[in-house]
């Protein structure tokens, strides 16, 4: 019997190992498939003996991508945009999630499900209204026609974040609501007995206990905003931010005749993609412990 139990345990361990290896392959293969071409010379592309390890490794592709992407300026623009949007989304979604978790008012359930439903609305459905709204921005018709042009500025993203309509805001509201619902009401009752109001209770009592959820929301918001090309390409198509500059990298490198230099462009694009991903990889290395702890605590509490 003991031998049979050991055999079953060994089989389970083997299957678990194979599953982990398979998942690692699926996750890491796209990264490895970019690293190899990024350090190749053009002649390695036509060498049939080269598959993963180039015969003539070089960092020239990274230099070309760095220069043509205006990487320093584009990195700063993306960092400022992603940080600003993440902080605003964190502020708004935390307040809204707390309101849904702790206050009952007519229509609160309907409003919450409407917020969640925004996650399944394709961004293409909102593309034209968003573009026209920010191209001819005129709130309540108070400004002279044709309004203000907010394109290629941070204002569209700031306004969307402040009004709870930013990227994945429905998910962030859901995370904060579930976390606050899992916190004991006795904390708030004790604060009310001590004379604290709703705002004081929220800021001084509830927020310190919600740090795991706050970390999750901020990191998710930052990463999604950093990787966003759809809204960035539509609203900031002429701005110096990394998603836009990566999209323009091919033309910036070889001009309009991209097809004639398709193989060389593939090398530069792979190098540019790695430069684009590098800050997120560094962020994950330094924030991994906090990220995992926050995921675990959010799951236990929420």
Residues 6+ apart with CB under 8 A from 54: 36, 39, 40, 41, 44
C-alpha–C-alpha distance, residues 139 and 148, integer Å: 10
In a domain, 301, yes or no: no
Distances in Å between the alpha carbon of 140 and those of 136, 143, 144, 219, 235? 12, 8, 11, 34, 21
In a domain, 178, yes or no: yes
Give exposure, 113-134, as e/b (b: 16+ Cβ within 10 Å). Answer: eebeeeeeeeeeeeeeebeebb
Closest of 42, 33, 85, 81 to residue 60, by C-alpha: 42
Query: Hey, what are 101's tokens?
Result: 């978790």
**33-75 confidence digits (pLDDT tens):** 888 888 888 887 777 777 778 888 888 889 999 999 899 999 9
In a domain, 142, yes or no: yes
In a domain, 139, yes or no: yes
What does pTM read for this prediction?
Answer: 0.85
DSSP, res 222:
H
Residues spanned by the domain of 174: 69-247
C-alpha–C-alpha distance, residues 39 and 57, integer Å: 5
C-alpha–C-alpha distance, residues 32 and 46, integer Å: 19
In a domain, 295, yes or no: no
In a domain, 89, yes or no: yes
In a domain, 260, yes or no: no
Angle at 291 between CA 184 and CA 223, to 5 degrees: 115
> What DSSP string describes 223-263?
HHHHH--HHHHHH-TTS--HHHHHHTHHHHHHTT--GGGHH
C-alpha–C-alpha distance, residues 198 and 266, integer Å: 56
Give Cα 160 to chain centroid, integer Å. 15
Considering its fold, how many domains does the chain have in total? 1
In a domain, 153, yes or no: yes
Q: What is the pLDDT along the chain (302 residues), one digit of tens a residue?
A: 666 777 777 888 888 889 989 888 888 888 888 888 888 888 877 777 777 788 888 888 899 999 998 999 999 999 999 999 999 999 999 999 988 888 888 888 888 888 888 888 888 888 888 888 898 888 877 778 888 888 988 999 999 998 888 888 888 998 888 888 888 888 777 878 777 777 888 888 888 888 888 888 898 899 999 998 888 888 888 888 999 998 888 888 777 676 657 778 888 888 999 999 899 888 888 877 777 766 666 554 44
CATH of the domain at 187: 1.10.3720.10
């Amino acid at each position: 019997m003991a031998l049979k139990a050991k055999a079953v345990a060994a089989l389970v361990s083997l299957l678990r190992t194979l599953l982990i290896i398979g998942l690692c392959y699926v996750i890491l293969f796209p990264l490895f498939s970019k690293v190899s071409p990024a350090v190749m010379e053009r002649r390695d592309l036509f060498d049939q003996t080269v598959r993963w390890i180039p015969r003539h490794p070089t960092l020239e592709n990274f230099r070309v991508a760095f220069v043509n992407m205006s990487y320093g300026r584009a990195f700063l623009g993306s960092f400022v945009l992603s940080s600003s949007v993440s902080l605003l989304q964190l502020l708004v979604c935390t307040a809204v999630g707390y309101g849904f978790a702790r206050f009952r008012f007519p229509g609160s359930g309907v409003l919450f499900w409407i917020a969640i439903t925004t996650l399944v609305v394709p961004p293409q459905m909102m593309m034209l209204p968003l573009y026209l709204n920010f191209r001819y921005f005129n709130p309540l018709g108070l400004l002279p026609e044709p309004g203000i042009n907010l394109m290629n500025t941070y204002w569209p993203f700031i306004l969307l974040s402040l009004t709870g309509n930013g990227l994945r805001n429905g998910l962030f509201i859901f995370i904060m609501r579930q976390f606050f619902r899992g916190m004991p009401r006795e904390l708030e009752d004790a604060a009310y007995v001590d004379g604290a109001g709703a705002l004081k209770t929220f800021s001084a009592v509830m927020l310190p206990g919600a740090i795991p959820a706050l970390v999750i929301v901020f990191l998710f918001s930052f990463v999604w905003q950093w990787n966003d090309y759809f809204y960035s390409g539509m609203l900031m198509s002429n701005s110096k931010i990394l998603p836009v500059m990566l999209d323009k990298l091919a033309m910036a490198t070889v001009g309009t005749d991209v097809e004639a230099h398709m193989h060389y462009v593939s090398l530069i694009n792979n190098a540019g993609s790695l430069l684009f991903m590098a800050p997120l990889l560094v962020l994950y290395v330094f924030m991994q412990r906090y990220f995992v702890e926050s995921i675990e605590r959010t799951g236990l509490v929420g």
